[in-house]
Amino acid sequence: MMSDVFLMPDLWLGMLRGVRVTIAITILSAVLGLIGGIVLALIIQFGGTTARWFARTYVFFFRGVPLLILLYFLYFGVPQISLLRHGPLWTYLFSSPFATCVLAFSLNNAAYLAEVVRGGIRAIKPGEIEAGHALGLSSRKVLQRIVLPLGLRNCLSGIANEVIFTIKASAVASIITVRDLFGEAQRIGTLFSDNLTPLIAAGIFYVILVQIVEWGTRFLRAYMHGVSKPVSNSVLDRGSRTAPISQEPSLTESQAIRTSLHVK
């Protein structure tokens, strides 16, 4: 019976083992994906024609291909290239299902986060960047101190959506034998010959994980908003309001709807 399996300690111990793997995959691929996404966004926004074309193609490619196919391609397809079956790349990356998963999710995340981060950078008022240059900051310093902090803050909820997406997508990892939350649920299902109950238990864990990310984001956004308030009320800002500099249009309605989703 369903309730019997629900009360088994083995079920919940397995879930706890699995949830650690799911969290590890999510954090690793979110961080790697964010780094890749920032680089891509900067290239698309400020790069030369060729570099921009490459970045755009990357984004189109990895946004268009389903994660499962990408995973199959990296796990089954790439090892077919005999050149890759030797050396450190093979030992540490392609021979381990876990590392292959992190690679696939990072590549995928980078493409989606590139768009998210670019939106955040575009929402920075040009006056703020101009102010940095006027103060005599080098381009590098402007990037470090103005473009990146403000851009990332602008797209915080977009990044959080990506993290939530990665949590959900990480269930795919079990298909290439990674024992994540979903993989554990399936294993326990076979063990007790009850397929449904462990899946429902895993579902509860996924809902909790996603809620934690949502609460964390809400907290972080409130915190950052509190910090930014005095800055936006400063004399400098008021000055620019009386003599408006041409501003980037803010997010349109449809874009706002698009970014409010947890999917891609």
Partner 1 sequence: MLATLPFLGYIVEGLMVTVGATLVGFAGALLIGATLSTLIVGSNTLPRYVASGYVTVFRALPELLFVFIVYYGLDIAMRALAARIGIAPLEISPFAAVTIALAMQFAAYCAEIFRDARTAIPGGLIEAGEAIGLSGTKVRTRIVLPLMFINATPALGNIFLVILKVSALASVIGLEEVTRRAKVVAGTTKEPFGAFAVAGICFLIVTALATALQHYIERRTTFGRSVA
Comparing CB distances to partner 1, the nearer of 122 and 258 is 258
In whole angstroms, the minimum distance from the beta carbon of 105 to partner 1 comes to 13
In whole angstroms, the minimum distance from the beta carbon of 45 to partner 1 comes to 21
Closest CA to 170 of 92, 75, 102, 260: 102
In whole angstroms, the minimum distance from the beta carbon of 250 to partner 1 comes to 14
Instruction: State the residues that interact with partner 1 by CB under 8 A.
Output: 60-61, 63-70, 72-73, 76-78, 80-81, 164, 167-172, 174-175, 182, 185-186, 195-196, 199-200, 202-203, 206-207, 209-211, 253-258, 260-264
Q: Residue 156 half-sphere exposure, CB side, CA atoms within 13 Å?
A: 17
Distance CA 104, CA 28 (A): 11
In terms of Cβ atoms closer than 10 Å to its own Cβ (0-12, 13-18, 19+), residue 174 is buried
Distance CA 43, CA 252 (A): 23
Comparing CB distances to partner 1, the nearer of 124 and 174 is 174
Comparing CB distances to partner 1, the nearer of 124 and 194 is 194
Closest CA to 61 of 119, 53, 97, 47: 53
Comparing CB distances to partner 1, the nearer of 131 and 164 is 164
Q: Are 259 and 156 in contact (CB under 8 A)?
A: no
In whole angstroms, the minimum distance from the beta carbon of 104 to partner 1 comes to 12
The values of phi and psi at residue 222, to 5°, are -65, -40
Comparing CB distances to partner 1, the nearer of 156 and 199 is 199
Name the percent of the chain in helix, strand, coil, to the closest 5: 85, 0, 15
Q: Which two tokens stand for residue 107?
A: 């590549």
Comparing CB distances to partner 1, the nearer of 87 and 203 is 203
Distance CA 232, CA 126 (A): 14
In whole angstroms, the minimum distance from the beta carbon of 253 to partner 1 comes to 5
In whole angstroms, the minimum distance from the beta carbon of 88 to partner 1 comes to 21
